[in-house]
Structure 1
Amino acid sequence: MGERQIPVAKSVARLHDDATARWHLPNGAEIVADGGFEAMIVAQHRENFDLWHEEDEARNPGASDARIAAVKHAIDGLNQRRNDLVEEMDDAFSRALTMLDQASLHSETPGMMIDRMSIMALKIYHTHEETIRATASEAHRQKNLLRLAVLREQRADLERCFDELMTDIRAGQKRFKIYRQMKMYNDPELNPVLYGQVAK
């Protein structure tokens, strides 16, 4: 994957918004990605999309204990894949970019920023829904219009920060490290509850 394939933030946001809208359709239309970074961005966003809706289910006061347990297991798996895909994106960014050892270290990786943009896209979509929901009060709609403006501003800020990081890396002024999440809860060799079950 070469540097010329590295996306700009606006294209990432468009991918997130397009995918979010399509996946909410009754037939759940899939996104055809071009491969490379685009495919990873869409795949990672799908994990966040599914995670968002499983977490909605987890908060259903009418759900049975068995349903909550099933949702919790689903959330764990989705969260693991979400973090794995952030690391895959960062590996790809690291291969595509030349970073100088003496450059200032940036605390957040490109993959982490794309993950934040993904979640922001979901917040924007669902907050917009609240501004047009027929059963909501006018006060509720107005409150969510204000929230929507804030979310859009926050995403614009994040987009600018992402593009600036790419510019600074190319200029030899910034670098990032790939931060491995080292998740333990799904690993049967690291989670004592899981390896305890095997030992019984």
Structure 2
Amino acid sequence: MSFTEHAWNIFNKSVEDYHLHDNVDFPINNPFENGSLEHLLYTKNWIDTVQWHLEDIIRDENIDPVEALQLKRTIDASNQKRTDLVEYIDSYFFQKYQNITPKSDAKINTETVAWAIDRFSILVLKVYHMNQEATRESATEEHRAKCTEKLNVLLEQKKDLSQAIDQLLLDIENGDVKMKVYKQMKMYNDESLNPILYQKSNS
């Protein structure tokens, strides 16, 4: 089984587990061993899944403004957790391949392994929810047909992204791609970097 096949199965399990309760406040119950890559991948997708539904909730045009503000804060915190975990997954792979010496002509990929995995995790959610719409009995036949077309595109994207990620890992293992990790350095949550926050604290 390829890495992406394994990751896709873990991501799907996370999505299915979430929808047993379909509640953004329901606590995660990660079934994988703490410290394992599987544990990281499950946690990553759980964060993505919860945030997906938070984004749905906040778009309710009748939502109470105070509740919307609180949800925005929750989404911001979720985004920070997502970024931190992506960097943690990158650190996992960086450590895994630390003894590999890249070739003199090794290339650098436009994104790290973990940020590609991040897109893969979101893609699982897109496929899951588009499939729901493509098969929703209360929807019109036209709606279901359009969603089926979109689902087919997403499944083609899954095939392409799977191939790209597996090839990237192989290229790193063979020394054809040099793995470098850059911290994202998010500024908006940092009181020392966001001028709105540090001006407020100094006033």
Q: Normalised by the size of structure 1, how large is the TM-score?
A: 0.91
Pick closer, same or farther for the CA change 1:177–1:101 going to 2, 3 Å: farther
Q: Distance between the aligned counterparts of 2:32 and 2:185, measured in 1?
A: 29
Are residue 157 (structure 1) and residue 157 (structure 2) matched?
Answer: no
Q: Distance between the aligned counterparts of 1:10 and 1:107, measured in 2?
A: 23
Pick closer, same or farther for the CA change 1:142–1:8 going to 2, 3 Å: same
Count of residue correspondences: 194
Letter in 2 for 1:192: P
Cα displacement (A) at 1:179: 2.1
Match of 1:137 in 2: 140
- What SS does the aligned partner of 1:181 have? coil
Within-5 A mapping of 1:150-189? 150-189=153-192
Cα displacement (A) at 1:61: 0.3
Are residue 58 (structure 1) and residue 58 (structure 2) matched?
Answer: yes
Match of 1:76 in 2: 76
Which of 104, 111, 114 is matched with 1:111 structurally?
Answer: 114
RMSD of aligned Cα (Å):
1.6
Q: Distance between the aligned counterparts of 1:70 and 1:49, measured in 2?
A: 18
Pick closer, same or farther for the CA change 1:32–1:99 going to 2, 3 Å: farther
Contact 1:47 1:78 in 2 (8 A): yes
- What SS does the aligned partner of 1:100 have? coil
Q: Distance between the aligned counterparts of 1:140 and 1:160, measured in 2?
A: 30
Q: Distance between the aligned counterparts of 2:61 and 2:103, measured in 1?
A: 52
- What SS does the aligned partner of 2:187 have? coil
Match of 1:148 in 2: 151
- What SS does the aligned partner of 1:126 have? helix
Pick closer, same or farther for the CA change 1:99–1:45 going to 2, 3 Å: farther
Pick closer, same or farther for the CA change 1:137–1:159 going to 2, 3 Å: same
Q: Distance between the aligned counterparts of 2:134 and 2:44, measured in 1?
A: 27
Q: Distance between the aligned counterparts of 2:200 and 2:108, measured in 1?
A: 42
Encode CA deviations 1:17-45: one digit per residue, 9 max, x unaligned: 11101111127673401342111111111
Match of 2:16 in 1: 21
Cα displacement (A) at 1:51: 1.3
Q: Distance between the aligned counterparts of 1:137 and 1:31, measured in 2?
A: 37
Identity rate, percent: 34
Match of 1:43 in 2: 43
Encode CA deviations 1:78-130: one digit per residue, 9 max, x unaligned: 01110111111111101001251631111111101110011000001110110
Q: Distance between the aligned counterparts of 1:190 and 1:62, measured in 2?
A: 34
Q: Normalised by the size of structure 2, how large is the TM-score?
A: 0.90
Letter in 1 for 2:3: V
Pick closer, same or farther for the CA change 1:99–1:75 going to 2, 3 Å: farther
**5+ residue gaps, structure 2:** none
Pick closer, same or farther for the CA change 1:118–1:99 going to 2, 3 Å: farther
Q: Distance between the aligned counterparts of 1:48 and 1:178, measured in 2?
A: 22
Contact 2:30 2:39 in 1 (8 A): no
